[in-house]
């Protein structure tokens, strides 16, 4: 029996889907105006783990993830600069080019981290008519009102506002960071449609003139379009609880007239050196950057899986070094099991399977499940243990089929001097010194390594990989 912690009820609950065989699930996706950082990726690994556990339990899944390629103003507010347009201006590209570039990079990150793509990927810009219809419906039902700069959601009309975060409306008003728009009925009312300001690049015709959707309306319109008025699971990071998801609930329930999402699941944040990640502190690493420093994406996934998703996880390079050693040991021990022709007693295998099942079904206790795996590997060497580990890997997603001898795991470590060559080459490329860059690439190849360019950097692999 699967139990999941539901943010809405603040309890671990038995998971009972609407349809006993097929789970419907929506996950908040990225705003594609920059490269996803390791904190973002922790949240997508969490999404992937939910999906893998559900599948392990025999469910089919209809999953939807949005790609926010329009709007999404700074600081979750209704005012301020549009993140997409800001990036477009800075890079002298159109917002569509920006979105395309970072969407591609995002999918590459998913692949490198062995995160399965949800069945439906929904781009906001491809669902503008649905969003307009949604806004119209909210207006018809008396939840939306027009001001000089857009259509706002009237939260006073929705008594359930705040039920996800448990925040009182008064506290929210006091906490509002932006100057209160005098036309709004309530400080916490939020824009569901914005009228395009002069110079706003992305805009569409609507009953209220040219404009663009509010960020929160995207997820409501697209989740209901694909999953219906009622669906099982909605996932995202904890930062979305107080505003984005509270607003989604207000929109969905006003639109459908009933409870729309049964289980709200939230992943805790990743910290770096015990603090917040931010561009200005220079501590927002990408998966490519970790690769440049010699950490396989699987090591990062393994690092994340060693912490429960509802606990904050502090990223440090010492922690990553530990994860790297431990992951390599895992692969080499597995290899010894793989090579053994001895059988393991069926009851021993069953015992571990049961323990593993209990762990993952107890609110996705992946750290405990990893503990079960490590204990199992201490059993006498047997190919049955290897096979069972591969079974477990359907949930863990750690590419355990890449088990290899200890000598080889050591060899995947790229030596310091080769990493240095790769760094110098990146520097040369930045300075447009392509002759030097080519010479450095050749130097790396001579040492048996290949440098592969990625949209946000490069990776170094053994030449025979």
* Shortest Å, Cβ 271 to Zn ion: 22
* Shortest Å, Cβ 26 to Zn ion: 8
Given the complex with ligand AMP, which of 75 and 442 has the nearer CB atom?
75
- 31 touching ligand AMP, by CB under 6 A: yes
* Shortest Å, Cβ 267 to ligand AMP: 6
- 237 touching ligand AMP, by CB under 6 A: yes
Residue 31 interface partner, choices Zn ion, ligand AMP, none, CB cut-off 5-8 Å depending on type: ligand AMP
Cβ-based neighbours of 60, under 8 Å, separated by 6 or more = 21, 22, 23
* Shortest Å, Cβ 245 to ligand AMP: 10
Q: How many residues make contact with ligand AMP (CB under 6 A)?
A: 14
* Shortest Å, Cβ 90 to ligand AMP: 17
Coil/strand/helix, residue 431: coil
Distances (CA, A) of 55 to 24, 214, 353, 412: 12, 34, 16, 32
Under the rule (CB under 5 A), what is the footprint of Zn ion?
28, 219
Residue 284 interface partner, choices Zn ion, ligand AMP, none, CB cut-off 5-8 Å depending on type: none
- 236 touching ligand AMP, by CB under 6 A: yes
Which secondary-structure segment (H or E) carries 13? strand 11-14
Give the Cα separation of 365 and 358 in Å (integer): 9
Q: β-strands 270-272, 313-315: how paired?
A: parallel
Give the Cα separation of 84 and 32 in Å (integer): 7
Indicate the burial class of 24 (C-beta count within 10 angstroms; 0-12, 13-18, 19 or more).
buried
- 437 touching ligand AMP, by CB under 6 A: no
Residue 30 interface partner, choices ligand AMP, Zn ion, none, CB cut-off 5-8 Å depending on type: ligand AMP
* The two structure tokens encoding residue 56: 């392990």
- 71 touching ligand AMP, by CB under 6 A: no
Of 84, 71, 278, the C-alpha closest to 190 is: 71
* Shortest Å, Cβ 102 to Zn ion: 17
Please say whether the beta carbons of 94 and 152 come within 8 A: no
- Virtual CA dihedral for 150, 153, 155, 156, nearest 10 degrees? 80
- 239 touching ligand AMP, by CB under 6 A: yes
Binds ligand AMP (CB under 6 A): choice among 15, 35, 39, 287: 39
Given the complex with Zn ion, which of 230 and 399 has the nearer CB atom?
230
In this structure, the number of other CB atoms found within 10 A of the CB of residue 343 comes to: 11
DSSP 238: G
Give the binding range for ligand AMP (CB under 6 A) out of 36-44, 114-122, 376-384, 398-406. 36-44
Please say whether the beta carbons of 27 and 118 come within 8 A: yes
Please say whether the beta carbons of 394 and 52 come within 8 A: yes
By beta carbon distance, the residue nearest ligand AMP is 237
* Shortest Å, Cβ 307 to ligand AMP: 11
* Shortest Å, Cβ 138 to ligand AMP: 23
Print the binding letters for residues 264-303 with ligand AMP: x by CB under 6 A, - otherwise: -----xx------x--------------------------
Residues at the interface with ligand AMP (CB under 6 A) = 28, 30-31, 39-40, 42-43, 236-237, 239-240, 269-270, 277
């Amino acid at each position: 029996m699967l139990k999941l912690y539901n943010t809405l009820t603040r309890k671990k609950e038995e998971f009972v889907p609407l349809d006993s065989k097929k789970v419907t699930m929506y996950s908040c996706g990225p705003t594609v105006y920059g490269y996803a950082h390791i904190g973002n990726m922790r949240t997508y690994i969490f999404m992937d783990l939910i999906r893998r556990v559900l599948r392990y339990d025999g469910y089919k899944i209809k999953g939807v993830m949005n790609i926010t390629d329009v709007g999404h103003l700074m600081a979750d507010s209704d005012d301020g600069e549009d993140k997409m347009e800001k990036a477009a201006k800075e890079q002298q590209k159109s917002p569509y080019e920006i979105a395309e570039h970072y969407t591609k990079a995002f999918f590459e990150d998913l692949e490198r981290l062995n995160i399965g793509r949800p069945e439906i990927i929904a781009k906001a810009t491809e669902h503008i008519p649905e969003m307009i219809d949604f806004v119209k419906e909210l207006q018809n039902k008396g939840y939306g009102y027009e001001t000089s700069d857009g259509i706002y959601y009237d939260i006073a009309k929705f008594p359930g506002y705040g039920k996800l975060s448990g925040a009182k409306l008064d506290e929210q008003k006091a906490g509002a960071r932006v100057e209160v728009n005098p036309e709004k009925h309530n400080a916490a009312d939020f824009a569901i449609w914005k009228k395009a300001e002069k110079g706003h690049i992305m805009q569409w015709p609507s009953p209220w003139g040219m404009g663009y959707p509010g960020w929160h309306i995207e997820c409501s319109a697209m989740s209901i379009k694909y999953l219906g008025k009622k669906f099982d699971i909605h996932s995202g990071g904890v930062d979305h609880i107080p505003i984005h998801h509270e607003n989604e609930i207000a929109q969905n329930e006003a639109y459908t007239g009933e409870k729309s999402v049964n289980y709200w699941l939230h992943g805790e944040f990743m910290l770096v050196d015990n603090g917040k990640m931010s561009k200005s502190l220079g501590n927002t690493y990408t998966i490519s950057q970790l690769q440049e420093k010699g950490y396989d994406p699987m090591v990062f996934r393994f690092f994340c899986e060693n912490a429960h998703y509802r606990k904050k996880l502090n990223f440090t390079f010492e922690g990553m070094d530990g994860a790297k050693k431990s992951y390599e040991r895992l692969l080499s021990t597995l290899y010894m099991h793989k090579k053994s022709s001895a059988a393991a007693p069926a009851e021993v295998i069953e015992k571990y399977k049961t323990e593993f099942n209990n762990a993952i079904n107890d609110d996705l206790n992946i750290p405990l499940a990893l503990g079960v795996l490590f204990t199992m590997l201490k059993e006498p060497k047997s190919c049955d243990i290897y096979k069972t580990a591969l079974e477990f890997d359907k949930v863990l997603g750690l590419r355990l089929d890449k088990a290899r001898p200890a000598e080889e795991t050591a060899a995947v470590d790229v030596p310091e001097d080769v990493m240095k060559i790769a760094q110098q080459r990146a520097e040369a490329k930045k300075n447009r010194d392509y002759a030097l860059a080519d010479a450095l690439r050749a130097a790396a190849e001579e040492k048996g390594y290949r440098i592969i360019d990625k949209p946000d950097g490069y990776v170094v692999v053994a030449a025979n990989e």
